[in-house]
Amino acid sequence: MSEKSFETVRSYYAAYRAGSADQVTAALSEVVDDGFVLESPLVEARLGGPATGSAALSMAAAVAPLLGNADIEALYARETGDGVVALIHFPTPAGPVTQSEHFDLDPASGRITRLRSYYDPRALLGLSRG
């Protein structure tokens, strides 16, 4: 795992502080692959499965109000494959959330191809309904 992979993941989180929704989407599109796949409890609740491509990019950009305040506690290289695991924390109106995010990166382009987010969704599901 190269330092470039860690920088790509840091850039992913920095994209959430890019400004307007269009600016966030543009910044994210610089680090995610066109076939980007997003998996999370909220995506599962809304779609019944992963989001892909432009739908994944839109869903990722939609959480900018939350992830714009995320603190990266740690980044780890996965033992197998081209991937990075991030442990993040961020505040929400329902209380703080901790997430473990698992990134797959394309070794040729260095872009993020898949993101799997793991967290307790109960507080966030309440926010998404309100």
Mean pLDDT value of segment 4-13: 95
Please check whether residue 112 is in contact with residue 33, taking contact to mean a CB–CB distance below 8 angstroms. yes
Ramachandran area for residue 62 (φ above 0: left; ψ -120 to 50: alpha; else beta): alpha
> What pLDDT score was predicted for residue 127?
59
Q: pLDDT tens, 79-126? A: 877 799 999 999 988 888 899 999 999 999 999 999 999 988 776 666
Cα-based angle 73, 84, 64 (whole degrees, multiple of 5): 60
Q: What is the pLDDT of residue 27?
A: 96
Q: Give tens-digit pLDDT for 54-68.
A: 999 999 999 898 899
* Contact assessment for residue 60 and residue 76, using Cβ atoms and an 8 Å cutoff: no
CB distance 85 to 76 below 8 Å: yes
Please answer whether residues 46 and 98 qualify as being in contact, where contact means their C-beta atoms are separated by less than 8 angstroms.
no
Q: Which domains does the chain have, with CATH numbers?
A: 3-129 (3.10.450.50)
pLDDT for the residue 11? 97
